[in-house]
Amino acid sequence: MARSAANDWQYLEQHRGKWRVTMAVPKSLHGQLPTRLKHPLNTDSLIIANQLKWPIVNEMRARIADVAGRDGRPDLRAIAEEFRRQHAKAGTDREVDEVDSGVAVTIDAVLGKPIGVEVDPVTGEEEPVFEPSKVKQAQQFTRMVSGNATLIDHFHSQYMAQLTVKPRTKGDDERAIKLLKRWCAEKDVEPFLQSFPSKKLAVRFVDDLRSLEPKLSPVTLNKYINRLSRYWQWLEKREEVPLDVWRGLALATPSVAHDERERPFTADEMVKLLSGKTSQAMHDLMRIAALTGCRLDPIVCLRVKDCRDNGVFVFKPQKKEKAERLCPIHSDLAEIVERRTKGKAPDDPIFPEWPGPKNTDSKRERSFKTSNQFTAYARSIGVREELEGRRRSLVNFHSFRRWFITEAERAGQPETLIAAVVGHKRQGMTFGVYSAGPLIDQARTCVEAVRLPPLEA
């Protein structure tokens, strides 16, 4: 039911006893337009103000559309959404005509000035010709207003807000959407959800991925396909799309020869790393990694309260872990833990040397700079194995984790116990489903079985 003109304040505000029209400007245009457009109506009657406002509202919309379209990439989504809401609320023929008039004015602003004329072969009348890109934008705007076109990323911010994945994975989501929108632009595919009613275009996108991003590996590109699939699944549940068109699609990954796989450090490499010239923080970090098998970021994120008096680390969950993981503190790490926790508050970091990104919106892990520093250190002492065409060395910080698992296995520790200590999923129904996990004493036996190689004096 439409609001009465006697109480309809939409697009109106009072200023010094008189009504005026006001409209918010999208944030992306604040450098080119004021934050709000305003126009006086010179009347103190709300009823009269409502009768006078619509032509001015339409002019304001057209002005916003004109400025938004000057760079050739207008974002008309907010304007189209507003027109859709107005159509839904319109209660009289007059109100419908006013909204349609606003749509027409906005389309004229999007089209801009004609670039020529052409003669109708039937009527002989001259008709204006506009830039093809502007015509396409106007057509897309019309479809958005009618509700027959939904931009690919229309729901993406809502989808991202409910995700509980790591910031790095959210970054993959954003990169995947940008890549799909870029492909649509390059292949002249309308960037709407309705453009993907079946797998046909999705398959074309996957086929073009390697040429679109030639420097990225199939593994990385498959991550993007997977994130698009997750988004489409979310849309499918809300009946915004008929099906997940990305399900089952993936690039073939080349098989990796045994001597091209990432590997543990050798004994000689461990000696070089643990006796090389670097900071005390890096030496402490490497020893904790080597004697826990833990990944880099949970170690860097340790707080004082995560080093409990009963001799266990509490590592934050990683990958598919659903809860914090307890890992016994190796006896050779006791001095490091005592030194780094002494006199500190429970929430103080163990490694204040790496405080993490200053930008709170950054999706980088706290350990981002730590990883870079370790890579530079390892390269400086010659602990690298780089292959042409491979972004990462075959030995990297994760090789401490591989070294721990290897040494625990060589020390005769059971596979299921090693998996529990390092946070791997344990195989089989018995250990993977029914077992509550080993006792801390059993895990401590596994950890203590691993010993650092003797270092040079």
Q: How confident is the model at residue 55 (pLDDT cuts 50, 70, 90)?
A: confident
pTM of the model: 0.60
Nearest Cα residue to 104 out of 136, 71, 62:
62
Q: What percent of the chain has pLDDT over 70?
A: 89
In 25-90, the DSSP E strands lie at: 36-40
- Pairwise CA distance, residues 100 & 86, whole Å: 10
Tokens 């999706």 sit on residue:
363
Q: How far apart are the C-alpha atoms of 363 and 22, rounded to whole Å?
A: 37
Per the CB < 8 A criterion, the answer to whether 15 and 57 are in contact is no
| Tokens 């997750």, located at residue | 230
Other residues' Cβ atoms within 10 Å of the Cβ of residue 155: 17
If phi > 0 it is left, if psi is from -120 to 50 it is alpha, else beta; for residue 389 that is left
Task: Point out the least confidently predicted range of 58-67, 342-351, 441-450.
Answer: 58-67
What proportion of the chain, given as a percentage, has pLDDT over 90? Answer: 46
Q: In the numeric block, which tokens belong to residue 6?
A: 């006697």
Q: pLDDT for 115-133, tens place per residue?
A: 888 887 877 777 888 888 8
Element (H, E) at 19: strand 18-24
Report the pLDDT averaged over residues 390-413. Answer: 91
Cα angle: 392, vertex 393, 399; to 5 degrees: 105
Q: At what angle do helices 218-237 and 199-212 cross, to 10 degrees?
A: 150
Instruction: Report the candidate in 144, 149, 175 with the shortest Cα–Cα distance to residue 160.
Output: 175
In the block, tokens 């930008």 appear at 359
pLDDT in tens, 9-47: 778 999 999 999 988 776 667 778 888 889 999 999 998
SS3 18: strand
Q: Could you tell me which CATH class the domain 260-448 is placed in?
A: mainly alpha
| Cβ–Cβ under 8 Å, residues 302 and 341 | no
The pLDDT of residue 445 is above 90 = yes
| pLDDT at residue 72 greater than cutoff 70 | no
Q: What is the pLDDT of residue 52?
A: 87
pLDDT (tens digit per residue) in 288-331: 999 999 999 999 999 999 998 779 999 988 766 666 888 999 99
pLDDT value at 436 more than 50:
no
Domain ranges (residues) in the chain: 12-118+128-146, 156-237, 260-448
Counted residue by residue, the chain has a size of 457
Q: Are 421 and 447 in contact (CB under 8 A)?
A: yes
Mean pLDDT rounded to a whole number for the chain:
84
Q: Write out pLDDT tens, residues 209-250.
A: 999 999 888 989 999 999 999 999 999 999 999 999 999 999
* CA atoms of 316 and 239, how far apart (whole Å): 36
Strands 36-40 and 18-24: antiparallel
Per-residue pLDDT, 116: 84
Q: Output the CA–CA distances (angstroms, integers) from residue 314 to 292, 307, 338, 372, in the order listed.
A: 11, 7, 16, 25
Span 238-286, pLDDT tens digits: 999 999 999 999 998 876 655 568 899 999 999 999 999 999 999 999 9
Alpha carbon distance 49, 97 (integer Å): 18
In which band, very low, low, confident or very high, does the pLDDT at 420 lie, cut at 50, 70 and 90? confident
pLDDT band at 433 (very low <50, low <70, confident <90, very high): very low
pLDDT reading at 205 higher than 50: yes
Contact 315, 423 (CB under 8 A): yes
